[in-house]
Amino acid sequence: MSRTLVLASTSPYRQQLLRQLGVPFAAVAPVGDEVIDQQVAPELLVKHLALQKANSIRDRFDDALIIGSDQVFVDPRGRILGKPGNASAACRQLKMMAGHTHVFYTGLAVVDCRSGQSLVDYVPFSVTLRPLTAEQIDYYVAEEKPWDCAGSFKIEGLGISLMERMEGEDYSSLIGLPLIRLTTMLAECGVDVLSPRPNVCR
């Protein structure tokens, strides 16, 4: 690994996903507030938010590849929503979502501090929640406390039980960091995650 990788996020979910690639990285909190603009198409919004996160810490590094990612979803009325923030909002989100199909948009940016190049993309993923009772939703939210997740569920945990159907190219995008697209972006910046590294057991 000839380049320093920096994840512009303190999200434990994104950090866990990035660890799957087996590359060393630092996690740094991005600077600034996440603003959801309902007048912007969701695929453009998440690309902007992902790049904004990466660029917010760009001045702190001279030779790093900074990874930024953000996620929103669109409700049945066409509103763009993000993290609920608390238990009552999570319950409201899930009650609204139950029995419907929703598209999640995950933005991804890789900023090369050395060259100044920025790669930006988004990955959509569709989920259909099965019909749920208020008691089931209340139980789920109390168990997993998913108010720091867009959509109010943790698909890698009990959240899978809420699902009727899932459709998309990369399940990791639903958790918050599209690893398939990220692997391609890193390769374009000269980082091959399958390249042999020292201290790797064989």
The DSSP bridge pattern shows strands 64-74 and 4-7 to be parallel
- Find how far residue 105's CA is from the centre of its chain: 9
Q: Which two tokens stand for residue 92?
A: 């409201």
Rounded to an integer, what distance in angstroms lies between the CA atom of residue 31 and that of residue 160? 32
* Residue 77 neighbours by CB distance under 10 Å: 6
**70 annotated active-site:** yes
How far apart are the C-alpha atoms of 53 and 72, rounded to whole Å?
A: 15
Catalytic residue among 59, 62, 63, 70: 70
Instruction: State the angle between helix axes of 134-144 and 87-97 in degrees (0 to 180), rounded to the nearest 10.
Output: 140
Catalytic residue numbers read 70
